[in-house]
Structure 1
């Protein structure tokens, strides 16, 4: 039954949240988020009630600011709205800027912290390595969080462009599917903007 629910949520633009992570206070890792899926992400966060959200870059990935700087006003509007929503659904939010982000054009709420590629954070005794691009990840951490492209490694490398990663402890990682069409909204992210 759960597999059918996952498919239905995916097809209808939602994100299926398994019961065991509802109200879990887990860490949620997202990356390369087109503005078209913001509502689905917020609905997911309302169910999970994460303690921490980590966004590994390209906050409004459909705008592709690096390639289309003339869209800065659209980027500011969409990204600032989304960051505020994220901050309202978690105690702490970390943002690692991507190649299509402009941090100086963002309004950062008090519970949101900007980190940069290669930095680490520690949450609940889990040392997390942060980057937008795989090649900029630090060494000597428990889990590696990144986005940008389709690179991967062993189970400790969590690619936020492939899945929404929900982290409950060092070894319990639940991978959720982004809504159908997310890659199309990313403008075929696996080929553009690397």
Structure 2
């Protein structure tokens, strides 16, 4: 019943075991419409991750590549996101730019984060992570995990989905102890918001 209510309210269903686990955590997310920013803030508040890696299209309800005249609104939403991030000084934030992002605006307004224009790698307690917005832009180096977003069609069936993680499908939480990856689904209408549509009724 609780899961049904949370689904109707467009909330993340975050397992209590993660919330109560004090060990180190890494969160991967991607392609986030601005309407879910409050839920992203709640997720970070409840799970206290050491690191959040966002693989691009930070304001995914504004398609700047298609509508560059919407830059002012895009910047306002970045400012809102930065305000939420600044509430978590103990969390490191990494953002990779997506095809609908604007480098100068992101550098100016996401002051709480490290910005990677195309791709990057980071060595963590969970292993070596390589990340990019698009699958084809991932660094060509041996890594434990490859994180990306952009398209559901990016990953081919012959690649291990536990190693090549498409953040469009769900948010991944990497937990130090026990050494595991837990998936948290986005609110139900997230894909519709990514396409500039809103759910109508129930």
Q: What is the TM-score normalised by the length of structure 2?
A: 0.84
Give the secondary-structure state (helix, strand or coil) at the position aligned to 1:184: helix
Question: In the alignment, what sits opposite 1:192?
Answer: none
Equivalence for 1:119: 120
The total of aligned residue pairs comes to 185
Q: 1:116 to 1:103 in 2, by over 3 A?
A: closer
Please state whether the residue corresponding to 1:130 is helix, strand or coil.
Answer: strand
Contact kept in structure 1, 2:170 and 2:183, CA below 8 Å: yes
Q: Partner of 2:91 in structure 1?
A: 91
Is the 2:126–2:174 Cα contact (8 Å) retained in structure 1?
A: no
- After superposition, the Cα gap between the structure-2 partners of 1:57 and 1:17, relative to the gap in structure 1 and judged at 3 Å, is same
Of the two, which has the highest radius of gyration? 2
Unaligned stretches of 5+ residues in structure 1: 190-194
1:44 matched to 2:51: no
Runs of 4+ in 1 over 6 A off after TM superposition: none
1:179 counterpart residue number: 187
Coordinate RMSD, CA, aligned: 2.0
What is the deviation of 1:173? 0.7
Q: Is the 8 A contact 1:165 1:175 kept in 2?
A: yes
C-alpha displacement at 1:59, in angstroms? 0.6
- Does the CA contact (< 8 Å) of 2:61 and 2:196 recur in 1? no
Question: Which of 133-142 and 169-178 deviates more?
Answer: 169-178
SS in structure 2 of the partner of residue 40 of structure 1: helix
Deviations 1:113-151 (A, max 9, x none): 112434211122510011000111123000111110113
Report how far residue 87 of structure 1 moved. Answer: 4.1
Residue aligning to 2:200: none
Q: CA deviation at 1:44?
A: 1.5
CA distance in 2, matches of 1:173, 1:87: 26
More moved, 174-183 vs 15-24: 15-24
Unaligned runs of 5+ in 2: 198-202
